[in-house]
Structure 1
Amino acid sequence: MASMEVDSGNVSKFLAEQQASAPEELRRYYHDFEDLYDRKLWHQLTTRVEEFVNIPSSGPYLVPLYQNFLTDWEDKINKLKLVQFGLAAATQFEDVSSSVDFLTRLMEKVNAPESQDAYVQAKIETAHWQLLMGKVEETKTAMDECDKLLDGFTTVETVIYASFYRVCAEYYKAKAEYAQYYKNALLYLACVNIDDLTVAEKEERAYDLSISALLGDTIYNFGELLMHPILDSLNNTEHEWLRSLLFAFNSGDIGKFEGLASHFSKQSLLESNMAALSRKICLMSLIEAVFKRSADDRNIPFADIATETRLPVEEVEHLVMKALSLKLIKGSIDQVAQVVHVTWVQPRVLDKDQIDAMRQRLQTWDESVRKMALFVQEEGGEVFA
């Protein structure tokens, strides 16, 4: 890789050469670079470079610009901006190892007490490239270090959190740790404007989130994903059935689950985990059955649960015990009477249909209270008087 040091006397010559070879839409930037550089207007120059970097056609010119121009005045650049310029340049190397070498040197430059935020972003983005090289342990070490540093910051730019959660999600995807991927991918999406993602990126993220939600052994509430606009990226694609499957799980609809199971052959992970998915939909069906009941109607016979979950009655007790162990519900089992008494059900992020069902129950409750108030008023007036 070429040296990142440059003789300041060659700056004008470099900019002139780049301007002559660049496409028309980029040439004016090189003129502005030289003008602002000569006048030592570092903030305005940084802003102009940022505009240049954001132009798609600038890609092939980013590494030369960084190595032959930015390094001449990098001590005048905001360190977080410098890292972001470096990250853009790192994507232009032909091999991953060159990107890692480039970012490692950049990371060392910003590793100072006053620029730890820039160091974290450089460190975690270097870990991204290391993960692509198969250096999984190095990636995890970087994640742990950055996590500790972030905890110590008072304020952090959102772009740094976005980098951190994105790389964490990539790591957990590589490790097939579905629940952790699900958590970090959603946190990443909370840090970015999804309209800035490409169509392909949105579809891939929605697909991966859907798979992780289904296979995550601790994920039994899909409401947050179902209400997220990223899921709409699956509409009118070959993976649209996944969106329907998530809604079926969230509502515990076993019939719809069985109807969509024919698609599992398109995704080997789902096909190989069919037994686990069947157990999960039964648990989701149990949760939904409890959730739909009013608070004063939580003594549920085994027979009712068997009907809801389509399980034999003799398997209901084991299902309930599983739900209790996962803390999806709280309560007790009366084995003699074959009744489950539920005192609590896991809070849920509701989809629109479930919110409407709750609205209807509240209306029913309100009507009951009104009738009771009228009854007390008519029958107990003298007593209260």
Structure 2
Amino acid sequence: MEIDSETVLVTLREEVESKDADLAAHFYTLEDYYERKLWYQLSELLKKEIYRNPNSRAIRLKLYDNFISSFSDKVNQLQLVEFLIISLADSSPENALEYLTNLKQTLLKRGEKKSSNFADQDMNDYEIIQALLYLENELAKVKLQLGFIDEATTIIEQSQEKLDNLSVSADNRVNASFYYIKAQLVKRKGDFNLFYYNSLLFLACIPDIDDLEDKENVVRDICISGLLGDKIYNFGEIIMHDIFKYLSDEWLKELLLSLNNGDLTSFNKLIANKTEIERIPEVSNRVEFLKQKMCIMAFVELVFNKPTTSRCIQYSEILQKIPLLVNGNEIEHLIMRCLSLGLIKGLINQVEENVEVSWIQPRTMTLAQIKGMKAKMELWSDKVSVLNKYMGQAGGEILV
């Protein structure tokens, strides 16, 4: 299908010229690449200069319909799917469903045709399979928006199986779309743990976090799920992630940091602020759970800051550190909870009223915790130096 640049590219160029002259200038290059059949260069220009430019948003679907679709079989099929997905950003779910379904049928036909050529079957199949996976994940996203939760769940379960069976690593765009929709599905079920972990996997697949839309709500939802997950007792992954700087809710940020640091004083001040806590119903409805979680985090922080040679902790020290606990029974319950969660390993001595910790779960540390670890390492190094000096002197006397 030949395009008439006078009626397509020129028209689109005129639409954006008043907003962005540099963007409009790229349309001359588009026409040149198209006439010379430089499909790779054409695709790269669309990807890096036009689709990444926010001023192209209003014309993206027209560009896809009237220009990209005319050579859709000439470019990387995964990139083709991405062009369509970005173009549909402002479309209704019903419109998006129609476009995605039509492209899926087109790709299935192309996959059948390419597979008949044995010489490049593997390469073409891999490209088509990934493009179809990407499409199916996006179809699941649209179906979830339309309220078809069971259909979306089925698609994602099938995608999981297909991803597991791939002989090579899937493209990050495919993984990102999969983990995003999986996170949204478990969020609807109220599973904070799975939402937190799948969201972190989603973020790990994003090469440049600045390209992610709605960063504020994404990081806010992740932080809330981290607070409320009953299996999440370290927030270093999200605190140290680039997206954390986009969390503008200072109260929520401080609450997360207080829990991560085991800072009971700061935590109590924050939850006492009724105005702030009531802004987040999920949190205000689970204050008692957060207090229990705070006790666990404070105990873990106490153990973490102890030297490895002195991890026999008296109940009295735990009570002093965590005044929310009132007696030995509550302390023992707290310790057993930490043991059952796999946060520590150790032995409780009820007679001596102490606990001896032999292992603590590895954790992702914040910069403040890394500085604390640095101080520990320096202390350990000094002790080793003293021991080395002593051994040198004692050994010298024996040799004499």
Quote the Cα distance in structure 2 between the aligned partners of 1:182 and 1:20. Answer: 43
User: What is the aligned counterpart of 2:146 among 133, 142, 148?
Assistant: 133
2:163 maps to 1:150: yes
1:103 to 87, 100, 103: 100
1:358 aligned residue:
373
Report 1:260-279 matches (<5 A): 260-261=270-271, 262=273, 263-279=276-292
Distance 1:34 1:355, change over 3 A: closer
Q: Which residue of 1 aligns with 2:40?
A: 43
RMSD: 2.5
AA aligned opposite 1:216: G
* TM-aligned CA deviation for residue 222 of structure 1: 1.1
Distance 1:103 1:157 in 2: 19
Distance in 2 (CA, whole Å) between partners of 1:16 and 1:376 is: 81
1:184 matched residue in structure 2: 198
How far apart are residue 379 of structure 1 and its match?
4.5
Shifted more, 68-77 versus 12-21: the winner is 12-21
Asked if structure 2 preserves the Cα contact closer than 8 Å seen for 1:127 and 1:139, the reply is yes
Once residues 34 and 63 of structure 2 are traced to their aligned partners in structure 1, the CA distance between those partners, rounded to angstroms, is 13
Distance in 2, Cα, partners of 1:31 & 1:365: 66
**CA shift digits 1:208-249 (9 cap, x unpaired):** 121111111111011122222221223xx4x11222212211
User: 2:159 corresponds to which letter in structure 1?
Assistant: C
**How many residues align structurally?**
372
Q: Who is 1:250 aligned against?
A: 260
Secondary structure of 2:269's match?
A: helix
Q: Does 1:18 align with 2:11?
A: yes
2:316 pairs with 1:335: no
Q: What does the per-residue CA deviation read over 1:21-73, in whole Å, with 9 as the maximum and x for residues that have no partner? A: 63424665665555544444433443444443333343343333333443333
Q: Show the 5 A alignment for 1:91-240.
A: 91-93=89-91, 95-111=92-108, 112=111, 113-114=125-126, 115-151=128-164, 152-192=166-206, 193-197=208-212, 201-234=214-247, 237=248, 239-240=249-250
What letter is aligned with 1:287? V
Give the 3 Å change call, closer, same or farther, for CA 117–334 of structure 1 in structure 2: same
Matched to 1:155, the amino acid is: S
Counterpart for residue 115 of structure 2: none
Paired residues of 1:328 and 1:345 also in contact (CA < 8 A):
yes
**TM superposition shift of 1:9:** 6.4
Displacement of 1:87 after TM fit? 1.0
AA of the residue aligned to 1:61: I
Q: How far does residue 380 in structure 1 lie from its aligned partner after superposition?
A: 5.4
Q: Indicate the SS of the match to 1:290.
A: helix
Unmatched 5+ stretches in structure 2: 112-124
Gaps of 5+ in 1: 1-7
Structure 2: distance between partners of 1:324 and 1:110: 52
TM-score (norm 2): 0.84
Q: Which residue of 2 aligns with 1:4?
A: none
Q: Which amino acid aligns with 2:71?
A: W
CA 338–211 in structure 1, closer or farther in 2 if over 3 Å, else same: same
Which residue number in structure 2 is paired with residue 321 of structure 1? Answer: 336
Deviation sequence 1:347-377 (CA, Å, 0-9, x none): 1112222222222222222223333333344
Stretch deviating more after TM superposition (250-259 or 144-153): 144-153
